[in-house]
Amino acid sequence: MCREWLKSMTNKIPISVFVIAFNEADRIVDTIASVRDWVDEIIVIDSGSSDATVKVSEENGARIMYNQWPGYGLQKRFGEDQCRNDWILNLDADEVVSPALKAEIQAISNTNNDLIPAWKIRIVEILPGRAKPVLFAHQVNAIRLYNRKFGRYSDSTVHDTVRMNSGEVRQMLSIIEHRSSRGIAHTLDKINRYSTMQAENLINGKGISFPILRLVTEFPLSFLKAYFLRCYFVAGLQGFSSAMVYAFSRFVRIAKYLELTGKK
């Protein structure tokens, strides 16, 4: 990102933000609002929402594109292709750019960073009903701000990862706030859909070694991972419930894999 990014008349940075969405009317307004006043372009890639996602996105300044759902990576590659700027900031519809991250991106836009084509950003989970992350909240560190001349999203139907062809990748200090769950019912519905895709992806890939053993051990080991390594224990009963739900999500993908492969 270089000094030419700053537009003297609008004071917006020529970054394109794209968001993939499906029935996100209750959350996507916050996503758009977190970038609307300082980026050049916001695009929402809708895959057929039946709620007011399209309406509220347009009302809040986003350009809407429809694309039938092809899978996560492929949908994000479609989003990249719709952007008019080479510099892209990708957000999901349940994510918000924190004020500190906004300031950090604006600050680096004033320096000559042409040799830094990608930036990793920590995406930090905020549990339902909370305004900020708990201590040691689970987070994923991923490339979200990048120049598409040097890297693109992979074409995986399950995973959405930016693969860089060349250039240095640096780390942002500030965070994206991630409110992935509306509550347990929403999370279970999401698990049911996503675990089917995961199971199919395992079949199309290398499969699973010792699947029966994995079926038995996946739930308890995943619970321990979530509760202690992801530090859900600091969130009290909500953290315990979240760890149990995470463990179920890991278990059910193995169960579906066995079901689809006919193993009994």
Check if the beta carbon of residue 253 is closer than 8 Å to that of residue 198. Answer: yes
The answer on pLDDT for 8 being more than 60 is no
- We report the CATH number of the domain holding residue 14 as 3.90.550.10
Check if the beta carbon of residue 125 is closer than 8 Å to that of residue 133. Answer: yes
CA neighbor of 183 nearest in space, from 5, 3, 27: 27
Q: Are residues 81 and 127 in the same domain?
A: yes
pLDDT digit string (tens) for 201-215? 999 888 898 999 999
Q: Are residues 7 and 116 in the same domain?
A: yes
- The parent domain of residue 74 ranges over 3-178
CA neighbor of 23 nearest in space, from 148, 245, 189: 189
Q: Which residues pair with 128 in a beta bridge?
A: none
Q: Are residues 138 and 81 in the same domain?
A: yes
The answer on pLDDT for 3 being more than 50 is no
Cα–Cα distance between 90 and 47 in angstroms, integer?
Answer: 17
According to the model, what pLDDT value does residue 9 have? 41
Q: Are residues 167 and 190 in the same domain?
A: no
114 pLDDT tier (thresholds 50, 70, 90):
low
Q: Are residues 113 and 228 in the same domain?
A: no
Q: Are residues 174 and 230 in the same domain?
A: no
Strand locations in the chain, DSSP E?
Answer: 13-21, 39-46, 63-66, 87-92, 95-97, 118-125, 139-147, 151-153, 162-164, 169-178
Out of 130, 156, 178, pick the residue that ends a domain.
178
- Number of domains forming the structure of the chain: 2
109 CB-near residues (< 8 Å, 6+ apart):
1, 3, 5, 6, 13
Check if the beta carbon of residue 137 is closer than 8 Å to that of residue 169. Answer: no
Q: Are residues 77 and 166 in the same domain?
A: yes
Q: Are residues 252 and 173 in the same domain?
A: no
Out of 178, 210, 226, pick the residue that ends a domain.
178
Burial 195-229, CB ≥16 within 10 A → b, else e: beebbbbbeeeeebeebeebbeebbeebbeebbee
Q: What is the mean pLDDT of the chain?
A: 93
Q: Are residues 146 and 189 in the same domain?
A: no
pLDDT digit string (tens) for 27-73? 999 999 999 999 999 999 999 999 999 999 999 999 999 999 999 99
pLDDT digit string (tens) for 145-177? 999 999 999 999 888 999 999 999 999 999 999
Tokens of 30: 């916050």
The answer on pLDDT for 111 being more than 90 is no
Tokens of 20: 């993939």
